[in-house]
Structure 1
Amino acid sequence: MNDKPLVLIVDDDLFMLDFIFDALSETCNVITAENGKAALQLVQQQHPKLVLADVKMPEMDGYELCRQIKDDFDISDTPVLFLSALDGIEDRLQGFDVGGEDFVLKPANPKVLQAKVAHVLQLIEERQQLKSQAQYATNTAMLAMASMSETGLLIEGIKRFNNCTTPLDLAKALISAIGLFEVESVVELILPGAESLAVNLRGPASALETSILQHMATMDRITQFKSRMAITYPHIRVLISNMPEHDEDLCGRLRDNLAILIESTEYRLEALNIMVKAEERDLTIATTIKSLTDALSKIDEQQRNGRTSIAIILSTVTSRIEAALVGLQLTERQESSLIDIVSRGLDEVSNTISADADFQDQLSCAIKALQNTINR
């Protein structure tokens, strides 16, 4: 059974067609077309997993091919990667407008091409798994929108952030909250360590969406261009793709409400980061207390064993001295004097050991309290 994904390459340059065919043939079943019309027929007939389309082609260019694919309900889920020597923001925005996934620059590097194709195919797999969940979320959002005012929608959206315990949960909750206002969004969270998490309603965001988010992050906090609007905060970037530009009043209210939503998300993300740091600190403290408790327990045990050993030694020494005095033929007075000196010395040692016993008991109580704290 052949499990290789079917990939369609569209390019009027036969050399480039052969080049890309060779680069992908080991991991994919590759079919080719030399123009947009033939490619559209192949997509409708064979339903490839992915289309790589040259942007510049006669009759039907790559953008138009992508637009017609997305307009056809039966094949609209087919992702399109653009092949182009152009890499300006205008070209990327045009590719985004027609529903493209990403750009591959010409001349294509085989390894980069293979990596991008593998990444897009993986995204497709993840989106298919999330499709039923996304449909459920959409239905729920539609039901909520039918029964709530804009203020109610805003409150409902913010409430969804309270139960989020991870950045991914928070990003999904923000997309869901924005969806209550009947607009679609791409969300990127900037995480500690300069890492980022970018998602849309279907799952992980495409490389093209991410690149547009990063470009618009250099502009004003709120930037709108026709139906697209970007809202940027220090740790959150959001791109709205279908603002109702025909209704100026509605657009204005949406800008305000969405800005409040995203600012609330910013605060929640900051709280999550603080919680993570607190958990790490608590774990470090707990580990340190346990190590200290174990060390003190060993010291306590050694000291108690030492006190017992000293008491035995003192008793033995006393017996040996008394036995030795018998053989020295001392007078009774001399013997009594010597025994008295030795006894006083041994008593002083014993009293010193007894004085330490109170401290030893305090140490034992402290160790027991630490152990009880750890075991809670």
Structure 2
Amino acid sequence: MTDCSICIVEPDEIEREILEGILAEEGKIKFYKASKELLADLSTVSPALIIMEKQFGEENGYDVCRTIKEDYSQCDTSVLFLTSVVSVDERLKGLEAGADDYLTKPYDVIEFATKMQAARNRITKKAGLRAQLNLASNTAMQAMSAQSEMGSVLQSVRAMNEANDFDSVCDGLFVALRDYGLKCTVFFNQMGEDIFMPTPGRQATPIEQEIINMVRDKERVWQREKRACFNFPYSSLLVLNMPDDEDRAGRLRDSLCLVMEAYDVRINNLNQQKELMDAQKWQSSVKEISQLLNVASNQLQGSIGQSHQTLKKLVDELFELLPRLGLEEDQEEGIHRIVDDAFAKLSKELEQTETTRAVFGKVLAKLNKM
């Protein structure tokens, strides 16, 4: 059987010569006189086909077949029995022991060839089925892994969307990184300040920070061997232990891109919210200052008007009083001169106060416009 080794347990030398002649074109063949020799070899070789008598000496071929199928299942071999009589009971015994077929004596060359071709077909089909099973198993495992990884992505994105501060957003990102078993350092900008935060249980080294800074303006996914950096407008993620398995590494790259895109959007949102809150506080402060300045300006304007009236009344009363004081003309002139000088000075000071009030007005106008 081409590319298939055949092991034959046959104590009779003449029978061995007959079988060797019939199977001369079938590839590598090895003969054993007893089953213990065959079983000793099965720990290191895996023949595609084993041929044996159903009874040789004191050994029962069915028991040997059962041992092969149970204790040496890794061989995944087919067993054919040699016999001169095959009854229904014999076939049932062979079936229960795990045998695949019978070869009857005396050997008919055509039957033998047919049986060997059937064995060859079973071996080929079994190999194909095994390959399909392995492919299906691997596909199922990949699907389960992908489903598990996508579950981590959804859980992480949900946690980040529910977060109201930068630390909580990072905790949401670390949910996925923890499930993936990754050692990472995440970079983000918080209100103009660059932050480097490692996954829990480790510290971000200066070299990690330098690598992130050096590759942030490169491609979206930058990778060198096990190191990979995922770059987004407001954040980056440096992974230190990407898996060697390219299939899993590919799935992780896709998953981490999804997680980091959600993370980047949330970081930007928090920065905008913080800026808006600061702007609202600043606007409230400006409004309060405007109100205080307006009150002060009105009070100043009222004070200026009141001072003008009081000063004018004082001067009028003084000038009415002077003629009744019986003063000399030069004395009245002196008092007039003193009062006029004082009035001029006070008027000048009031004009300066009026200028100050005008400045208040300009400041108020600008504040209101802002």
With the length of structure 2 as denominator, give the TM-score of the two structures. Answer: 0.39
Rg comparison, structure with higher value: 2
